[in-house]
Chains A and B, each alone.
Chain A
Amino acid sequence: MVRAVDALIKQMTKMGVECIFGIPGGANMPFYDALYDSDIRSYLMRHEQQAAHAAEGYAHVARKTAVCSGTSGPGATNLITGLVDAWMDSVPVLAITGQVVRAFMGTDAFQEADIVGMVLPHTKYAVTVMDSRRLVQEFVNAYTVAMMGRPGPTLLDIPRDVMQEEIDGVEDIKPEPIFVQTPPEPDVHSVMEAAKLIIDAEKPVILSGGGVIFSGATNEVLELAEFINAPIVTTTPGKSSVPEDHPLVLGVVGMHGRVESDMAIVDSDLVICVGTRLSDRAIGPPTEFEKNRKVIHIDIDASEFGKNVKPTVSLSGDAKQILRDLIDYIKHIAAKKPKSPLINRLREIGEAYDEFMLEQATSKITSWRAIWLLNKILPPDTVITTGVGQHQMWAQLFWKCKTPGSFISSSGLGTMGFGLPAAFGAKAAAPDRPVVNLDGDGSFLMTCQTLACISDYNLPVITVIFDNRSLGMVRQWQNMFYKQRYKDVEYTDRTDLVKLSEAFGVEGVRVESYEELEKVVKQAVRENTAVTIDLPVGKEEMVFPMVPPGKWLSEVKLPPGLELYGKVSSVHPA
């Protein structure tokens, strides 16, 4: 006989769980007691939300299900934001929560909360394990299904007495059949139809989403693009799905996308959408997207077809496998397409934008130039995380990813405070790679206690705070859409971010020039040390391009003063 929770930890080890992020409390204490004797590393976080975001960061880098834990009641409810975040961005995270003992359930007992009921809409699977003999089986189910099919969060809620009960030893447990979500084989007929559309298209564009990263389909996307000479644009979660220094990759599309990417979509007659849910942020109004162009939609989740955009052809399954079949078929029946002058034109538009922005930013520090500089000095395998706001948009505009899966941001939920804990989790997964959190002061202050973990576990994360003493993105919207009636968007100077970082044991530096920024970052990378850089930037900065909410990509507003009319007919200055 063995304690159920010991059997659980044994199974976790067997399935390759190397670490968990969490906080112990009354109801999950047996879980921590069992961890005491195991090789699984546990990171003691300072808030359960941060544990969940850390798990997201870890899952992105390790490409496997990551585990976080909290006790019953407030410990569990604190995890929710992170779980919903993982849901929106399809990240495989398993939360293990303690629950009050079975006899107390349903009595409003101390720290009792129906966490399963609360997370049901935003998890792939959530269960309270009422029978200790099912505990290991339920773990195997929840851990496996988080990564199978379309990845997403799951939750295992375990009453304290269930953890402590003695059970017969368990061996060789496999997920139950309903938890094995094998992607369907590509449908041959649809592959042929899609191939024909691609061959006939004059201006095809590939839209690469986050699904490409988890499928490992980067090479296939590039191979297809090169064969048909099509530009590649990405969604925000798909930003690092393809190397952004590749000549066919234009960058992120959408509300704050690159202007050349928006124009590529506007100009296209076919969009090949891979591993994306085609969110409003990426494509604007679906009716406009569908107009005047054909759409091929490739996704592992067949419910995405027609949810927002009605595809001409849909292909359900694993992106890598579908693209492989598609490429092989196309190569069989058609010749490589010649280079199109359109790509050069689009690249010129992008270069004109970069040039215009960088010319303006010489005397005082601007967010975009700082990111452009960081991009030049940091190694190509650097993992970037971000908070949410203007700085995030500057990062998606000016950071160029070179390594698949190296840009981790809260894209779907837009969770301020995501950056620092996600960076911590990423560093736990890849201690030898530089991990840099590009943060806003508002976002940073939401989860800055993770600095304590960075210091305790010596997992050195570099944080650059784009410190505009304001909730910049909200301020920008108040400027543009609320007649500059600035309300509750400005911070005072009283919070000292350098001292705050030092209080947690992480060196803090206020940096006043690009030279200093370069020096501090290079040193931190060289010595693999943690540092928090407080970088003052102006609160009057506005992120452009911007497609106003609800408008089609052709109505993108450019930075005031940038003239692109000679290059493209449909872009307007702000």
Chain B
Amino acid sequence: MVRFLVYILLSNNPDAIAKVMLLVKQGRLTLDGATFTTTGDGSRLSAILTINGPSNKAEWFTKKLKNFPYFYQAYMLPLTG
């Protein structure tokens, strides 16, 4: 199990946020925290999620996001300790 931080730049709409949560669920990951903040002209959100789960699923999550046209960027950072 690893704890990791994910940064996501996404469209500012509830479907995009729902899609993030559905992928957390599909990956059988658990959420420690999430913040969503509007950026720029308000059409996008920047999200920071702290997530727990198996390392292969953490990678899967970040890559999977890129399949969907709600997400402009997604990066993962493993957390230690």
Contact with B along A124-140 (1 / 0, CB 8 A): 11110000000000000
CB of B66 within 8 A of CB of A126, answer no
Q: Is A293 interfacial (CB-CB < 8 Å)?
A: no
Q: Is B56 interfacial (CB-CB < 8 Å)?
A: yes
CB of A127 within 8 A of CB of B15, answer yes
Q: Is A569 interfacial (CB-CB < 8 Å)?
A: no
**Residues in B neighbouring A307, C-beta threshold 8 A:** 56, 60
A6-14, A115-123, A456-464 - interface stretch: A115-123
B53 smallest CB distance to A (angstroms): 13
CB of A302 within 8 A of CB of B63, answer yes
Report the interface size for chain B: residues with CB under 8 A from the other chain: 18
Q: Is A306 interfacial (CB-CB < 8 Å)?
A: yes
A301 smallest CB distance to B (angstroms): 6
**Residues in B neighbouring A127, C-beta threshold 8 A:** 15
- CA of A125 to CA of B65, assembled, Å: 12
CB of A306 within 8 A of CB of B60, answer yes
- CA of A167 to CA of B56, assembled, Å: 48
Q: Is B75 interfacial (CB-CB < 8 Å)?
A: no
**Residues in A neighbouring B60, C-beta threshold 8 A:** 303, 306-307
Q: Is B80 interfacial (CB-CB < 8 Å)?
A: no
CB of A178 within 8 A of CB of B67, answer no
CB of A120 within 8 A of CB of B56, answer no
Q: Is B1 interfacial (CB-CB < 8 Å)?
A: no
Q: Is A145 interfacial (CB-CB < 8 Å)?
A: yes
Contact with A along B6-18 (1 / 0, CB 8 A): 0000010001001
**Residues in B neighbouring A522, C-beta threshold 8 A:** none
**Residues in B neighbouring A149, C-beta threshold 8 A:** 67
CB of A116 within 8 A of CB of B69, answer no
Q: Is A229 interfacial (CB-CB < 8 Å)?
A: no
Q: Which of A120, A145, A302, A306 contacts B69 (CB 8 A)?
A: A145
Q: Is A179 interfacial (CB-CB < 8 Å)?
A: yes
B74 smallest CB distance to A (angstroms): 11
Of all chain A residues, the one with the shortest Cβ separation from B10 is A178
**Residues in B neighbouring A179, C-beta threshold 8 A:** 69
Of all chain B residues, the one with the shortest Cβ separation from A180 is B69
Report the interface size for chain A: residues with CB under 8 A from the other chain: 22
CB of A121 within 8 A of CB of B22, answer yes
Contact with B along A295-321 (1 / 0, CB 8 A): 000000111011100100000000000
**Residues in B neighbouring A120, C-beta threshold 8 A:** 15, 18-19, 22
Q: Which of B22, B66, B69 contacts A125 (CB 8 A)?
A: B69
B29 smallest CB distance to A (angstroms): 13
CB of A121 within 8 A of CB of B68, answer no
Residues 36-71 of B at the A interface (beta carbon under 8 Å): 56, 59-60, 63-64, 66-71
B62 smallest CB distance to A (angstroms): 8
Q: Is A469 interfacial (CB-CB < 8 Å)?
A: no
CB of B15 within 8 A of CB of A126, answer yes
Of all chain B residues, the one with the shortest Cβ separation from A306 is B56
- CA of A53 to CA of B26, assembled, Å: 25
- CA of A181 to CA of B18, assembled, Å: 21
A317 smallest CB distance to B (angstroms): 13
**Chain A contact residues, majority secondary structure:** mixed
Q: Is A150 interfacial (CB-CB < 8 Å)?
A: yes
**Residues in A neighbouring B59, C-beta threshold 8 A:** 303, 306
Of all chain B residues, the one with the shortest Cβ separation from A141 is B69
CB of A303 within 8 A of CB of B63, answer yes
Q: Which of A121, A141, A302, A306 contacts B66 (CB 8 A)?
A: A302
Of all chain B residues, the one with the shortest Cβ separation from A117 is B18
Q: A302-B63, A303-B64 are in contact. Are A178 and B72 (CB under 8 A)?
A: yes
Q: A178-B72, A306-B60, A307-B56 are in contact. Are A301 and B22 (CB under 8 A)?
A: no
- CA of A178 to CA of B44, assembled, Å: 13
- CA of A150 to CA of B69, assembled, Å: 12
**Residues in B neighbouring A141, C-beta threshold 8 A:** 69
**Residues in A neighbouring B67, C-beta threshold 8 A:** 124, 149-150, 181, 301, 303
- CA of A302 to CA of B26, assembled, Å: 16
Residues 390-438 of A at the B interface (beta carbon under 8 Å): none
Most buried by A among B11, B26, B64, B71: B64
- CA of A121 to CA of B26, assembled, Å: 9
**Residues in B neighbouring A301, C-beta threshold 8 A:** 63, 67
**Residues in B neighbouring A124, C-beta threshold 8 A:** 67-69
**Residues in A neighbouring B70, C-beta threshold 8 A:** 125, 178
**Residues in B neighbouring A310, C-beta threshold 8 A:** 56
B21 smallest CB distance to A (angstroms): 10
**Residues in A neighbouring B15, C-beta threshold 8 A:** 116-117, 120, 126-127
A441 smallest CB distance to B (angstroms): 35
Contact with B along A100-122 (1 / 0, CB 8 A): 00000000000000001100110
- CA of A179 to CA of B70, assembled, Å: 9
Of all chain A residues, the one with the shortest Cβ separation from B13 is A127
- CA of A547 to CA of B60, assembled, Å: 28
Contact with B along A170-190 (1 / 0, CB 8 A): 000000001101000000000
B10 smallest CB distance to A (angstroms): 10
Of all chain A residues, the one with the shortest Cβ separation from B26 is A121
18 A–B pairs (Cβ distance < 8 Å), ordered by A: A117-B15, A117-B18, A120-B22, A125-B68, A125-B70, A126-B15, A145-B69, A149-B67, A150-B67, A178-B70, A301-B63, A301-B67, A302-B66, A303-B60, A303-B63, A303-B64, A303-B66, A303-B67
Q: A residues touching B (Cβ–Cβ < 8 Å)?
A: 116-117, 120-121, 124-127, 141, 145, 149-150, 178-179, 181, 301-303, 305-307, 310
In the complex, besides A181-B67, A181-B69, A301-B67, 14 extra interface pairs with C-beta distance below 8 angstroms are A116-B15, A120-B18, A120-B22, A124-B67, A125-B70, A178-B71, A178-B72, A179-B69, A302-B66, A303-B64, A303-B66, A305-B63, A306-B56, A307-B56
